[in-house]
Amino acid sequence: MRLQKYLASSGVASRRKCEEYIQEGRISVNGNTITQLGTQVSDEDIVTYDHQIVRCNAQYVYYILNKPVGYVTTVKDEKDRPTVLDLMREIPTRIFPVGRLDYNTSGLLMLTNDGELTYALTHPKHDVNKTYQVKVKGRVSDAAIENLESGIFIEGRKTAPARVDIIQINDVTTTLSIIIHEGRNRQIRKMCDAIEHEVLRLSRTAIGDMRLEGLSPGKYRKLTEREIVYLKKIGGIDV
């Protein structure tokens, strides 16, 4: 098994983050620091992360959280702000977020110790749809919506086509449903900035067909077996 997958399967972090740890020299195998991606390991090898032994863990857990505004989507915050894990302290297993919602964004966030699924759901090649509800200032024109749907330039790079529907509109505000499959940093906010409409409220309402289903802000639950199988399928993982 590749080292980064072994680490992700052990619940250290997502596979992408584990690759960063390897390149930073924080991983050793049998006492030797490894910085080369793709190194092969087995259960007979002694693998450490920051000098702590890690074991490949097949006992995965999966949770869905309705993230409130005012929490950062990290395991630990250098500015000592509250993190989403502060809302889930009762869970004994080490878990990490799948993707990110920024500090001022609320809604559906998945957390797990399954690094393979995390990688699958966040990698652009799998085209996993994410649905957001966004309330912006002003009346959004048909032309602006067409721009969002066809792709809009953000920081010199065009976004992939999106689906945009009007939920509510008046002369003061517009509420939109926007479906994207990319995961660029603060993408929805930047898309709205590009059409010159300030975001007043932003929430993620779905990943694929999985929704919060009445989960109150700050509350979480375990995913059902059916939901886990569904997420693996849309992530391209054999089940």
**Catalytic one of 43, 102, 193, 209:** 102
C-alpha span between 180 and 183 (Å, rounded): 8
C-alpha span between 77 and 195 (Å, rounded): 32
Q: Give the β-pairing of 130-137 and 210-211.
A: unpaired
Catalytic residue status for 114: no
Residue recorded with tokens 């008046």: 170
Question: Measuring CA to CA, how many Å separate 24 from each of 13, 88, 114?
Answer: 14, 29, 22
Q: Is 125 exposed, middle or buried (0-12, 13-18, 19+ CB in 10 A)?
A: exposed
Backbone angles phi, psi at 121, to 5 degrees: -75, -20
Catalytic residues: 102
